Amino acid sequence: MCLAIPALVKSVTGQEAEVEVGGVGRRISIALTPEVKVGDYVLLHTGYSINVIDAGEAEETLKLLRELAEESA
Amino acid sequence: MRYVDEYRDPELGKRLVDRIHKLSTRPARIMEFCGGHTVTIFKHGIRQLLPPTVEMLSGPGCPVCVTANAELDKAIALAKEPGVILATFGDMLKVPGSRSSLQQAKAEGGDIRVVYSTRDALAMARDNPDKRVVFLGIGFETTAPTVAASVLQAEAEAIHNYFVLPLHKLCPPVIKALLDSGEVRLDGLICPGHVSAVIGSRPWGFIPTGYGIGCVVSGFEPLDILLSVEMLVAQVERGEPKVEIAYRRGVKPEGNPQALRLMATVFEESQATWRGIGTVPQSGLKLREKYRSFDAEAQFQIDPGPTLEPAGCLCGDILRAVKTPLDCKLFRRVCTPEHPVGPCMVSSEGSCAAYYQYGADHE
């Protein structure tokens, strides 16, 4: 129910955006994330972007995962 | 898919599992609150991969499952009103109420339509000015801001035939109620990722400070869950419970201020009744006085009749994590996804559906 999936923002018009999810285009509301820019990934939940994905933090988490894996190898 | 595939790397997963095995010496009872996490855990067999010191329990974080029969009966009664279109997320259709389900009401002529978004429900109101469109507002803090946005949109466009039946529920108060009940002893809690995308990680602070239980906000891929378990096991080993975020790409400590603002504009906190848990103060949302004209509860006279609970169904106990589906005499014999008796078998995120689907009854 609280499912949200990453969607790539292709264009922004007012409170709406065109996004791509797994190669499929969709029109969504960005009323909850007015700061969205083209090229951002957002978390898409029931037709609304509920947050912008932080690319830097995503990279940091992957780095942490690899470090933890290294340590246990 | 970007931000998904990287977090499913089996080799990294294996190493993380090894790490958890090396790290864990003390017993750690960890609850995943959210039904979405339950699905990831069962789908990837994570319970079976963990050391015997780590025990996983599923919590009540499934909005479909915790919707009380009395609330569902109201929605069914509304759907039978002449001139009403009841718009609902598909998950709710098959949930049995006291005497019927939305699916049954639809078969009997109720105009019930499945929508993916409140945007669809609003479009329905625009396209059918002679009908009254009622959106069945279930969901946690993840969903409530989208419903708030739809009410504000309806107000801006002067759409007067759009209503919301507000059945939203709030997660931190119900976790507090569960912990206060003393029925379940926990050492760690995996906090819901997309609820936290909206409310942030700060509202969980009372759990380590008040109850000495560590909290990690998790994403929904298998590596997200394993990282969260690793962090909680490390907290248990050090004896230092705190709030951490394993899902930093989607969750900030402060949450999403705009979503919180819209939610607070339209809704105010109210008491809510949770299936299996009962009435919990400040754990629900109702529309503020200013938005009363959009409130189906205020605008319709609804008499759903007395509430009945299905005999033998253990959903309530399962939601409180005091029983598992394996304790239920109806599970798999009488209650199946095709013929569900209780909501935990209907929702794909319900514990019973997860046990059924992924064969955890053979564990």
Q: What is chain A's length?
A: 73
pLDDT at B362 exceeding the cut of 60: no
pLDDT at B361 exceeding the cut of 90: no
Nearest-Cα distance to chain A for B275, in Å, is 17
Chain B residues in contact with A32 by the CB 8 A cut-off are 145-146, 149, 256, 258-259, 262
CB-CB neighbours of B183 under 10 Å: 11
* Residue B156 CB-density burial (10 A; 0-12 exposed, 13-18 middle, 19+ buried): exposed
Would you state the pLDDT for residue A1? 86
Its domain, for residue B187, covers 1-310
pLDDT digits (tens, 9 = 90+) for B260-292: 999 999 999 999 999 999 999 999 999 999 999
Same domain, B154 and B242: yes
pLDDT at B343 exceeding the cut of 60: yes
**DSSP characters over A3-51:** --EEEEEEEEETTEEEEEETTEEEEEE-TT-TT--TT-EEEEETTEEEE
Identify the H or E element spanning B49. helix B46-49
Mean pLDDT over B137-149 rounds to 98
CA A71 to chain centre: 30
Same domain, B121 and B43: yes
Mean pLDDT over B297-322 rounds to 94
CB-CB neighbours of B209 under 10 Å: 12
Mean pLDDT over each residue of chain B, to the nearest integer? 96
Domain annotation covers residue B112: yes
Indicate the pLDDT class of residue B114, thresholds 50, 70 and 90.
Answer: very high
pLDDT at B363 exceeding the cut of 60: no
Same domain, B256 and B353: no
Place of tokens 């609003």: B122
Same domain, B101 and B16: yes
Domain annotation covers residue B50: yes
Domain annotation covers residue B81: yes
Same domain, B346 and B242: no
Domain annotation covers residue B363: no
Contacts of A56 (CB under 8 A, 6+ apart): none
Nearest-Cα distance to chain B for A33, in Å, is 7
Q: Cβ separation of A68 and B16 shorter than 8 Å?
A: yes
Residue B197 DSSP SS3? helix
Write the CATH number for B100. Answer: 3.40.50.11740
**DSSP characters over B220-246:** SSHHHHHHHHHHHHHHHHHT---EEES
Measured between CB atoms, does A46 come within 8 Å of chain B? yes
Measured between CB atoms, does B32 come within 8 Å of chain A? no
Dihedral of CA atoms B106, B112, B116, B119 in degrees, nearest 10, equals: 180
Same domain, B267 and B144: yes
Would you state the pLDDT for residue B70? 94
Same domain, B81 and B131: yes
Query: Which residues does chain A have with pLDDT short of 50?
Result: none
Measured between CB atoms, does A12 come within 8 Å of chain B? no
Domain annotation covers residue B26: yes
Same domain, B270 and B351: no
Same domain, B185 and B293: yes
Would you state the pLDDT for residue A72? 77
Same domain, B26 and B56: yes
pLDDT digits (tens, 9 = 90+) for B3-29: 999 999 999 999 999 999 999 999 999
Same domain, B246 and B347: no
- Say how far apart CA B277 and CA B68 lie, in whole Å: 10
The total number of structural domains in chain B stands at 2
Domain annotation covers residue B124: yes
Would you state the pLDDT for residue B360? 62
Domain ranges of chain A: 5-72
pLDDT digits (tens, 9 = 90+) for B215-254: 999 999 999 999 999 999 999 999 999 999 999 999 999 9
Query: Residue A41: beta bridge partners?
Result: A8
Q: CATH number of the domain at A5-72, please?
A: 2.30.30.140
Same domain, B236 and B336: no
Would you state the pLDDT for residue B359? 78
Chain A residues in contact with B18 by the CB 8 A cut-off are 72
Q: Cβ separation of B227 and A65 shorter than 8 Å?
A: yes
Residue B280 DSSP SS3? strand
- Say how far apart CA B139 and CA A45 lie, in whole Å: 11
Domain annotation covers residue B111: yes
Percent of chain B residues past pLDDT 90, beyond the cut: 97
Q: Cβ separation of B140 and A31 shorter than 8 Å?
A: no
